Amino acid sequence: MAKLWETSKDGGLDPAIDAFLSSVGVDQRLLAVDIEGSIAHAAMLGRQGILPERTAAELGRALGALAVQAEEGSLAVDPLAEDVHSFVEAELTSRLGDSGRALHAGRSRNDQVALDLRLWMRRASAELREALLDALRAITELAAGHTRTLMPGYTHLQRAQPVSFAYHLMAWAAALRRDYGRLEDAAARADECPLGACALAGSGLPLDREGVAASLGFARPSPNCMDAVADRDACLELAAACAALLTHLSRYCEEICLWTSYEFGFVKLGSSCSTGSSVMPQKRNPDPAELIRGKAGRAYGDLVALLVMQKGLPLAYDRDLQEDKAAIFDAADTALACAKAFATMVSSIAPDPARMRAAAEEGCLWAADAAEYLVLNKGVPFRTAYAAGRALVLAWESARKGGAFGCSPAVAGLLAALGEAGLAALHPAWQGTETGELSRYLRLDSCVERRDQVGGPAPKAVVRQLEELRAFIAAKAEAVPAPAASIQ
C-alpha cells in the first residue's frame, strides 16, 4: 500500500524501517472512531462548499458502509497499511476513486489521531464507569446485611477499634467513588475536538470547526491548533485514573487475601471465584484477588510510559506520540478487566460473622472508649484518661496471661473481678467509677453505636452511607452515556 506522504516511487523505506514505523497493529482498534470522525469531516466539507455536495454525500455513504462492516467485524484492516487512517483512505479510494482522495482536504493525520484518541477515551471512560458502578452495587448488596456484624478495625494491621463489616465495605466504596470522579474528569478533559487543527496551524480552507465539534458531541473545538495536535493530557488523566483505581482495588484485594486466610477466617470466596491446588486438596486460593493486585503494576507502568514519552517533546507533533496508544489501551483494558473481576468476586464473598466477632472480642478494642468515658463522665483531661485506660489494658493483659478468665477475658469479667476498689487501684482517675456502668459502656456494640456522626461506624450512620451510595449509583447509572461500542 502506498504511503499517504509518498510523492514518487524512487527509493522507498527499508522494509525493516517500514515495519518499525507501522502502527496499524495497535491503532486498528481506532477503526470505528476514525470512520466516525471522517463522516463528520466529509459532511462539513460538503456544507462549506469545499467539496461538491454530491461528492460529500458519496463519501458519507461509503464511510457509513465501512462503519457497518467494522461493527460486524467483516472489515479486515490491511496489516501492510501504515496506520488505520491510511487504511480507511485507501479503502475509500479503492471504492470511489478520486472522491476517496478528496476526503483529506483540511486535515492531517496529526489532528486525525488526536481526534480518534479523544473519541475512544470518552467511550473508555464510560465503559470503565459502568464497570465501577457494578462494583459499587456488589459492595452495597454485601454490606446491606452486615451493619451490625462487628469486626476489628485495623491500623498498622493491628486490631484497633471495633467497627462493622458494612462500615469497612463503605470505606471501599468511598475511594471507588473518587475513582469514578477521576474517570469523569478524564472524559471532560477529552471533551475538545482537535479536528481542523490539521498539521499544527489549521487550514486555509474555510473549515467549520465548531460545526464538526458539535456533530461529534464535543463541548467545543480545541482552542489552539498547535496544542491540539501535541496535547495528550487526556491520556495522562485517564491513565492516572486507571492507576488510582488499581491502587484501590489492589488494597482491597490484599484485605480479601488476608480475610480468606485460615489465620483470619473472616470471609470465604465462592468456588466460582477461587481456585484449588493441584497438590493440596484442602486449599482454596483467592487467585482473582491476587491477580488484580499483580496487575496494578501494569497500570503504573503505562502511566509512567505516557509521562516519560511526553517529557521534553517540542511542539507540535512528534513521532514519539505514536507510543501513546499502546500505553493508554493497556491501562484501560487492565482497569476494565480488574473492575469487572472485582465486582464478580465481591458478589461471591460469604462473611463469617462469628469469626469476626471473636476477633473483635479478643483484643482491647474498647481501650479508646475507656479513656473517652473518663473525659465525658469525669471531666478527666484526655492524657490522664489515656494513662488510666492503659492501666486497665495492662490489667486485662495480666489476667489473660494468668488464665484467670480463660484465654480471652472479656472486659466485663475483668471489671467484675476487680470491683470498684480494684479499678481505683489501677489509676486514681478511676476513683468512684461504678464498674457495672463502665462495663456496659465498654460493650463493643455500645462502642460502635456511639459513633453515629457523619461517616461513623454506628449502624444508623452506615445505613445513611448505604442510602447515599444507592442514590449515587442510581444517579450515575442514569447519567453515564452508554458506550457506542466496546473499547476492546
31-51 pLDDT per residue, tens: 999 999 999 999 999 999 999
Q: Which residues contact 148 (CB under 8 A, 6 or more apart)?
A: 164, 445, 459
CATH of 15-105, one of 3.30.200.20, 3.40.630.40, 1.10.275.10, 3.40.50.1820: 1.10.275.10
Q: Examine the pLDDT at 481 and tell me if it is beyond 70.
A: no
Q: Return the percentage of the chain with pLDDT > 70, whole number.
A: 94
Q: Return the DSSP state at 311.
A: T
Domains 15-105 and 110-359 share a fold: no
- Entry pTM: 0.92
Q: Where are the domains of the chain?
A: 15-105, 110-359, 367-442
Q: What is the CATH number of domain 110-359?
A: 1.20.200.10
- Give 94: exposed, middle or buried? Use CB within 10 Å, 0-12, 13-18, 19+: exposed
- Classify 193 as helix, strand or coil: strand
Phi, psi of 275 (to 5 degrees): -120, 160
Q: Examine the pLDDT at 131 and tell me if it is beyond 90.
A: yes
Model confidence at 16, in pLDDT bands (50, 70, 90)?
confident
pLDDT at residue 20 in the model: 79
pLDDT at residue 39 in the model: 98
Model confidence at 23, in pLDDT bands (50, 70, 90)?
confident
Model confidence at 472, in pLDDT bands (50, 70, 90)?
very high
Q: Are 318 and 228 in contact (CB under 8 A)?
A: no
Q: Are 85 and 172 in contact (CB under 8 A)?
A: no
Average pLDDT over every residue of 178-197: 97
Sign of CA dihedral 135, 137, 140, 144: negative
What residues pair up with 268 in beta bridges, in sequence order?
Answer: 350
**pLDDT tens profile 297-306:** 999 999 999 9
Q: Examine the pLDDT at 408 and tell me if it is beyond 90.
A: no
Mean pLDDT across the chain: 93
pLDDT at residue 19 in the model: 76
Q: Examine the pLDDT at 487 and tell me if it is beyond 70.
A: no
What residues pair up with 285 in beta bridges, in sequence order?
Answer: 275
Identity at 334, one-letter amino acid code: T
Phi, psi of 194 (to 5 degrees): -85, -10
Q: Rounded to whole angstroms, how far apart are CA atoms 157 and 93? A: 65
Model confidence at 404, in pLDDT bands (50, 70, 90)?
low
Closest C-alpha among 220, 217, 211, 215 to residue 192: 220
Identity at 362, one-letter amino acid code: E
Average pLDDT over every residue of 12-36: 86
Q: Are 410 and 439 in contact (CB under 8 A)?
A: no
Q: Examine the pLDDT at 365 and tell me if it is beyond 90.
A: yes
Q: Return the DSSP state at 404.
A: B
Closest C-alpha among 102, 85, 66, 106 to residue 3: 85
Sign of CA dihedral 58, 64, 67, 73: negative
Q: Rounded to whole angstroms, how far apart are CA atoms 41 and 193? A: 12
Q: Rounded to whole angstroms, how far apart are CA atoms 264 and 253? A: 14
Strands 220-221 and 192-193: parallel
Active site residues per annotation: 156, 277
Q: Rounded to whole angstroms, how far apart are CA atoms 402 and 475? A: 57
Q: Return the percentage of the chain with pLDDT > 90, whole number.
A: 86
- The torsion region of residue 3 among left (phi > 0), alpha (psi -120 to 50) and beta comes to beta
Q: Rounded to whole angstroms, how far apart are CA atoms 446 and 192? A: 54
Range of weakest confidence among 105-109, 387-391, 478-482: 478-482
